[in-house]
Amino acid sequence: MGVNSNRVEHFDNREATTLRIQTQTPLEIHAVQLPPQRTTLHKLRHRVSEIFFPDDPLHRFKNQTSFRKFILALQYLFPIFQWAPNYNLTLLRSDLISGLTIASLAIPQGISYAKLANLPPIIGLYSSFVPPLIYSLLGSSKHLGVGPVSIASLVMGSMLSEKVSYSQDPSLYLGLAFTATFFAGVFQASLGILRLGFVIDFLSKATLVGFTGGAAIIVSLQQLKGLLGIVHFTSKMQIVPVMVSVFKQRHEWSWQTILLGFGFLAFLMTTRHISLRKPKLFWVSAAAPLTSVIMSTILVFLLRDKTHQISIIGHLPKGVNPPSSNMLYFSGPYLALAIKTGIITGILSLTEGIAVGRTFASLKNYQVDGNKEMMAIGLMNVAGSCSSCYVTTGSFSRSAVNYNAGAQTTVSNIIMAAAVLVTLLFLMPLFYYTPNVVLAAIIITAVIGLLDYQSAYKLWKVDKLDFLACLCSFFGVLFISVPLGLAIAVVISVIKILLHVTRPNTLVLGNIQGTQIFHNINQYKEASRVPSFLILAVESPIYFANSTYLQERILRWVREEEEHIKANDGAALKCMILDMTAVTAIDTSGLETLSELKKTLEKRSLQLVLANPVGNVAEKLHKSKVLESFGLKGVYLTVGEAVTDISSIWKAQP
């Protein structure tokens, strides 16, 4: 397999110019080496480790005493033990301010998002109390603000409402919501425990941009019910039925509700604009939802004799979360619906939570363990399902406020939960006259930021296929349904992966004059073809899925090169060099393809040469005996050495 490492060749200036390779000193030809031998068990262990343990989570336990290992395991499972011993009053002051700040946002958002899921408003407050406490013990993000989120709330509400109506059977609907939350938590925690976080990577950035944008529009349009004061409104989530219902029920529009709603919507949008323009004034938009709730409640209370058409929240029960484990369904005709809803909302909430956590961790230069986050989010949802909570995760709006308010640890979540607890125990009667129209305005303001048109435009500029995936996901949510829109997003992501795997790039390489550098001739204009050589690079592993395509595409390159030579009266093609630098893996189908390709080219009097096969590829070529057919002059370490050595052999021949 090797090449004589002592072979040294000199070229005069004319020959170097002809080949476009001008070398100042003799070029040494290096042998291609095989990687060190390893047993099959060792290879399997290494491969499994790379798949499931890329971060090597057990490295901290090496060379430690038993007691120290116990402490490290405790800190790994409960990150609070890492920072709690060094906690001080300075950190508490920062966390206290940020916790109270996000509580002012969490209370109105919790009430609003629960209504988005077709749940009683009190469930949203319950969901802002227990899950943040669980996360503060298990989570690794310092800035993640935990609670209900708009997308997961919308998906849960739309999926459950297709089969069960809360107004007709509230007990069944609540039970299914809690059951879906339980299965969402089990699914999320399982991904973390089994280290299968790569599953959520099938939701690409492009598809998520389209999905969240479409969901944001659907969420906003659904709020027209509250914003216009409509009583009889469609439960469907597609844009056409929603808009038909809006105009069909024009006789139910209430000018009092419209005036109040658009007034507070303008107030909320103004505060949001101020905070976006001046980040130091983040507290303006953070306090705006609670301020709107307080002001609108006082206004409706004072004018209660004249505002009968304005719908209000009404009675909310006082007290902490009641247990709900007895409401979970593990059998019956609706179990499949609960499981499906739980998995879909679990994927969405997990994707959002981890993305938000990593975003703010990068700003403060610390790491968030994805698998630990999955376990933390999953376990808090399992606990929440047993304490009258529905699906929760890290909210971008709460986390942004938490970060800007100066949060230092997850104690800010504990402070927020404490504020929610005080609200649940003592302040619930104050929400009696809170108008639903203000909650609709709060939701619209919160989800409007999900319309990321700048990212969509960037997708169009950078990758048209990604932009197509974004559009399909967007319109799928708008015109079909939210769950099917998500399914479309996943299918498009998988199709994109298959396209890259089955149709990899192949490039013609040329030499940059005066160097031993070979690059794509279409990308580098100074790179030119080497006479009598066709140099190709494959930018993909060679698998059963693409081996046939690669063979056909390479033969097409040969035909096109011969036509190019004929059209330009160039030197006859004698050799094809296959640069395998980017071929990171090869299977038996790929090995067979190389053998067949070599035989086909030999029938056309063309030599096939391999350049730089990487470790495991070289090993498989050796074990399969494929290299024996290539001989000593069939494999080289670099393209430059291959061109130099083969050209010298041709020169030496009479």
Averaged pLDDT, 84-97: 90
Closest by Cα among 582, 578, 581 to 593: 578
| Dihedral over alpha carbons 312, 313, 314, 317 (to 10 degrees) | -170
Reading the block at residue 43, the tokens are 């290879």
Residue 211, CA distances (Å) to 325, 442, 444, 450, 465 in order: 32, 21, 17, 10, 16
Task: Tell the burial category of 355 from Cβ atoms under 10 Å away from its Cβ (0-12, 13-18, 19+).
Answer: middle
Q: What is the pLDDT of residue 26?
A: 56
Residue 156, CA distances (Å) to 79, 327, 597 in order: 30, 17, 54
- Cβ contacts of residue 520 below 8 Å, gap of 6+? 507, 508, 509, 510, 527, 537
Maximum distance among all Cα pairs of the chain, rounded to whole angstroms: 110
Q: Inform me whether the pLDDT recorded for 17 exceeds 60.
A: no
Task: Tell the burial category of 522 from Cβ atoms under 10 Å away from its Cβ (0-12, 13-18, 19+).
Answer: exposed
Per-residue DSSP letters for 437-496?
HHHHHHHHHHHGGG--HHHHHHHHHH-HHHHHHHHHHHHHHHHT-HHHHHHHHHHHHHHH
Q: What is the mean pLDDT of the chain?
A: 85
Q: What is the pLDDT of residue 57?
A: 72
Averaged pLDDT, 119-139: 94
* Secondary structure of residue 577 in the 3-state scheme: strand
Closest by Cα among 246, 218, 243, 217 to 232: 246
**For residue range 359-394, what is the model confidence (pLDDT) as tens digits?**
888 888 888 888 889 999 999 999 999 999 999 999
At position 11, the amino acid (one-letter code) is: F
- The torsion angles phi and psi of 11, rounded to 5 degrees, stand at -125, 140
* Secondary structure of residue 34 in the 3-state scheme: coil
The DSSP bridge partners found for residue 542 are 586
- Cβ contacts of residue 533 below 8 Å, gap of 6+? 573, 574, 575, 576, 577, 643, 646
Residue 245, CA distances (Å) to 23, 250, 253, 358, 448 in order: 77, 9, 12, 40, 22
Q: Inform me whether the pLDDT recorded for 537 exceeds 90.
A: yes
Reading the block at residue 432, the tokens are 């009696």
What does the chain come to in residues? 654
**For residue range 282-336, what is the model confidence (pLDDT) as tens digits?**
888 888 898 999 999 999 998 887 777 788 888 888 999 999 999 999 998 999 9
Reading the block at residue 58, the tokens are 């057990």
Reading the block at residue 150, the tokens are 């708009």
Instruction: Please answer whether residues 470 and 456 qualify as being in contact, where contact means their C-beta atoms are separated by less than 8 angstroms.
Output: yes
Averaged pLDDT, 470-495: 83
Bridging pattern class, strands 527-528 and 506-512: antiparallel
The DSSP bridge partners found for residue 636 are 611
Reading the block at residue 202, the tokens are 């099938």
Closest by Cα among 224, 220, 254 to 478: 220
Q: Inform me whether the pLDDT recorded for 9 exceeds 70.
A: no
Element (H, E) at 267: helix 255-277
Residue in the structure block whose two tokens are 């992501």: 493
User: Which of the 8 DSSP states describes residue 11?
Assistant: -
**For residue range 406-460, what is the model confidence (pLDDT) as tens digits?**
889 999 999 999 999 999 999 999 999 999 899 889 888 888 877 888 888 998 9
- The torsion angles phi and psi of 489, rounded to 5 degrees, stand at -60, -45
When mean pLDDT is compared across 51-55, 123-127, 342-346, the lowest value belongs to 51-55
Q: Binning pLDDT at 50, 70 and 90, where does residue 15 land?
A: very low
Task: Report domain extents, the chain.
Answer: 88-496, 504-652
Q: What is the pLDDT of residue 204?
A: 77
Please tell me the distance from the alpha carbon of residue 101 to that of residue 401, in angstroms, as a whole number.
Answer: 7
**For residue range 485-528, what is the model confidence (pLDDT) as tens digits?**
778 877 877 888 888 888 888 999 999 988 888 999 988 888 88
Q: Binning pLDDT at 50, 70 and 90, where does residue 11 land?
A: very low
Element (H, E) at 625: none
Q: Binning pLDDT at 50, 70 and 90, where does residue 254 land?
A: confident
Q: What is the pLDDT of residue 6?
A: 36
Instruction: Please answer whether residues 540 and 583 qualify as being in contact, where contact means their C-beta atoms are separated by less than 8 angstroms.
Output: yes
User: Which of the 8 DSSP states describes residue 199?
Assistant: G
Instruction: Please answer whether residues 436 and 229 qualify as being in contact, where contact means their C-beta atoms are separated by less than 8 angstroms.
Output: no
Q: What is the pLDDT of residue 85?
A: 87
Instruction: Please answer whether residues 609 and 642 qualify as being in contact, where contact means their C-beta atoms are separated by less than 8 angstroms.
Output: yes
Q: What is the pLDDT of residue 27?
A: 62
User: Which of the 8 DSSP states describes residue 200?
Assistant: G
Closest by Cα among 177, 123, 486, 466 to 316: 123
* Secondary structure of residue 528 in the 3-state scheme: strand
CATH class of this structure's domain 504-652 = alpha beta
Q: Binning pLDDT at 50, 70 and 90, where does residue 654 land?
A: low
Averaged pLDDT, 102-115: 89
Per-residue DSSP letters for 485-509?
HHHHHHHHHHHHHHHHHHS--EEEE
Q: Binning pLDDT at 50, 70 and 90, where does residue 397 land?
A: confident
